[in-house]
């Protein structure tokens, strides 16, 4: 078989062509574009909007925060509309939750009202209120994130990717750990309910026994059916996520605000004790005031969720501690009960400490101002120090209480006081 020898002139021309030319040159721009896009996906700009994108996307899977554009790079892409499918799903879940809440109220009012019997009513009322507030927050979210982004751009910018992605990694870690522990608690509750239904069976069908036990408020009024059982279970799963998510929302907003104060503090630390011009201190004081304004704005937006979170956690900790006096019927119940109790206490402590970090970081500039040389002291440094000393910068529960480290001790003392009173009533009832 005779083949054609390559043309010598053609070979020499190809040998002198630059890399990327020739038969495969049409693929090079696409490869460069693909490499650029892939690199951009892993680059962080350090904004809070970018950091909470995946958290909000997860919330939308459970009928919360129906905002479009949460994973976009810039907050200008955020949109809210009543016509979006995700908004309709949120409204549909709220209507479903309202029906379930009505059935729970009917069951509670037709039985003996005790501290323990109103537990489902408290739980579902909190879920419904949080869903309503989250829908209201979703309407404000595009404007809130644009304001946050503008304040971020005015701050001293981080230079490395490690610094820019620190806030996003912390937020995602809190979300991941919180959801994993919540999922583990829910699985243990299912195992506990299956174990209970196996010993205290009402019918010969174990599946029906399980659903009647976990959705007793539905079948207290309506006859048992498989669609109602699945509806009740779906409501339970969504409610469990939302119950944990309201704490996570308070934590991630606290992490974001504390991170902005820390960003300013890191810049002050670089010039600690050095002679700086008055313009430097004037600029830093204005930036500090902008973050304080942002903190106040976000507090107004989420303070209702904050007070529901703390009051709800306080109630359920008291209920769980009171139930710890009872004998557990099985090992499954014991494992679930103590895991749920410690998870609830740990979650409440985490919310308190993350929220308190906002106040802690807002006070840190004062220690750097105390190191300013005498010749650098000016009216702006004086005003800066007075603002830090006199202003209370912290998240709050609708202005009833401020989330500082002192609150942790106050909550612990309140729990002990309530528990002693409840134990006395519990002993009187047993007698």
Residues 9-23 pLDDT 10s: 344 444 444 444 444
Does residue 163 register a pLDDT over 70?
yes
Question: CB burial class (10 A; 0-12, 13-18, 19+) of residue 387?
Answer: middle
pTM of the prediction? 0.84
Residue 201 has pLDDT above 80, yes or no: no
Closest CA to 251 of 358, 337, 333, 377: 358
Q: How confident is the model at residue 19, as a pLDDT?
A: 41
Rounded distance between C-alpha atoms, residue 237 and residue 61, angstroms: 12
**Contact predicate 298/253, CB 8 Å:** yes
**Does residue 422 contact residue 414 with C-beta atoms inside 8 Å?**
no
Mean predicted confidence (pLDDT) in 408-416: 81
d(CA 299, CA 283): 24
Judged against a pLDDT cut of 50, whether residue 24 lies above it is answered with no
Give tens-digit pLDDT for 246-283.
999 999 999 999 999 999 999 999 888 888 888 999 99
Query: Residue 274: exposed, middle, or buried by beta-carbon count in 10 A (0-12, 13-18, 19+)?
Result: exposed
**Cα(235)–Cα(100) distance, integer angstroms:** 8
DSSP letter for each residue of 362-415: HHTHHHHHTT--GGG--HHHHHHHHHHHH-----BSTTSSB-SHHHHHHHHHHH
For 347-401, what is each residue's pLDDT tens digit? 999 999 999 999 999 999 999 998 888 888 888 899 999 999 988 999 998 989 8
Spatial neighbors of 210 by CB under 8 A, at least 6 apart, are 193, 194, 197
Q: What pLDDT is stored for residue 151 in this prediction? A: 94
Roughly what angle, to the nearest 10 degrees, separates helices 226-270 and 206-214?
Answer: 50
The pLDDT assigned to 413 comes to 81
SS3 assignment, position 68: strand
Residues ≥6 apart with Cβ < 8 Å to 15:
none
- Can you give the pLDDT at residue 26? 45
Distance CA 130, CA 124 (A): 10
> Helix or strand or coil: residue 79?
strand
Q: What is the mean pLDDT of the chain?
A: 84
CB atoms near residue 331 (< 10 Å): 10
Q: What is the pLDDT of residues 34-66, one digit of tens each?
A: 444 455 555 777 789 999 998 999 999 988 999
């Amino acid at each position: 078989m005779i083949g054609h020898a390559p043309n010598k002139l053609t070979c020499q021309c190809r040998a002198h062509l630059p890399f990327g030319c020739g038969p495969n040159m049409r693929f090079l721009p696409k490869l460069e574009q693909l490499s650029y896009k892939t690199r951009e996906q892993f680059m962080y700009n350090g904004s809070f909007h970018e950091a909470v994108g995946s958290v909000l996307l997860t919330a939308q899977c459970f009928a919360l925060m129906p905002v479009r554009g949460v994973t976009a790079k810039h907050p200008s892409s955020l949109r809210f509309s009543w016509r979006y499918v995700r908004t309709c799903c949120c409204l549909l879940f709220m209507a479903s939750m309202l029906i379930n809440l009505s059935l729970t109220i009917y069951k509670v009012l037709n039985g003996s009202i005790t501290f323990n019997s109103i537990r489902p009513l408290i739980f579902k009322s909190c879920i419904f209120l949080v869903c309503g507030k989250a829908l209201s927050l979703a309407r404000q979210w595009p404007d809130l994130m644009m304001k946050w982004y503008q304040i971020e751009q005015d701050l001293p910018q981080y230079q490395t990717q490690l610094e820019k992605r620190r806030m996003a990694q912390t937020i995602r870690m809190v979300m991941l750990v919180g959801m994993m522990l919540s999922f583990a608690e829910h699985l243990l509750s299912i195992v506990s309910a299956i174990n209970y239904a196996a010993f205290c069976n009402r019918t010969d069908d174990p599946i029906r026994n399980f659903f009647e036990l976990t959705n007793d408020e539905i079948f207290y009024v309506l006859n048992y059916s498989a669609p109602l059982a699945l509806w009740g279970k779906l409501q339970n799963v969504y409610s469990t996520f939302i119950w944990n998510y309201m704490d996570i929302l308070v934590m991630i907003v606290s992490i974001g605000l504390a991170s902005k104060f820390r960003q300013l503090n890191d810049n002050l630390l670089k010039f600690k004790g050095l002679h700086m011009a008055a313009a430097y201190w004037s600029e830093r004081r204005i930036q500090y005031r902008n973050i304080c304004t942002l903190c106040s704005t976000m507090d107004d937006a989420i303070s209702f969720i904050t007070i529901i979170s703390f009051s709800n956690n306080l109630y359920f900790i008291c209920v769980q501690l009171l139930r710890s006096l009872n004998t557990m019927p099985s090992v499954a119940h014991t494992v679930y009960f103590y895991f749920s109790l410690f998870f609830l206490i740990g979650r409440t402590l985490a919310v308190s400490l993350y929220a308190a970090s906002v106040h802690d970081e807002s006070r840190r500039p004062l220690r750097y101002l105390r190191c300013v040389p005498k010749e650098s002291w000016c009216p702006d440094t004086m005003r800066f120090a007075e603002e830090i000393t006199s202003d209370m910068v912290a998240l709050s529960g609708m202005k009833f209480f401020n989330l500082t480290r002192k609150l942790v001790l106050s909550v612990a003392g309140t729990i002990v006081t309530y528990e002693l009173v409840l134990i006395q009533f519990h002993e009187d009832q047993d007698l």
